[in-house]
Amino acid sequence: MDRNVGPEDRGVRIIVAIGLAILIYVDVVEGTAAIVTGIFAAYLFLSGLLTRCIFYKLAGIDTSVQEQPYSTTDDRSGL
């Protein structure tokens, strides 16, 4: 699977995952909600580290930076 998570999206995913993990650690979220939140935080953290998101792939979303072809001065001047 190709990379489809960009640098900004990657940072947000990792920060949100760490924030959710802290909420679980300090017992703000308890019980079954803590398990679901933990799974969601783990997914966000791993997808941020690996820069691949299965849900982005299914939806056809790509926030990664794509290389743009460079133009040389010869191309612009018509030579």
Residue spans of the domains in the chain: they are 7-62
Confirm whether pTM is higher than 0.85.
Answer: no
pLDDT tens digits, 40-78: 999 999 999 999 999 999 999 898 876 556 655 555 555
Residue 21 predicted with pLDDT over 70: yes
- Helix, strand, coil shares of the chain, percent, nearest 5, are 60, 0, 40
Task: Write down the H helix ranges in the chain.
Answer: 7-25, 32-50, 54-59, 73-77
Model pLDDT, residue 72 = 58
Among residues 45, 44, 66, the alpha carbon closest in space to that of 55 is found at 44
DSSP conformation class of 26: T
Torsion of CA 34, 39, 42, 46, to 10 degrees: -170
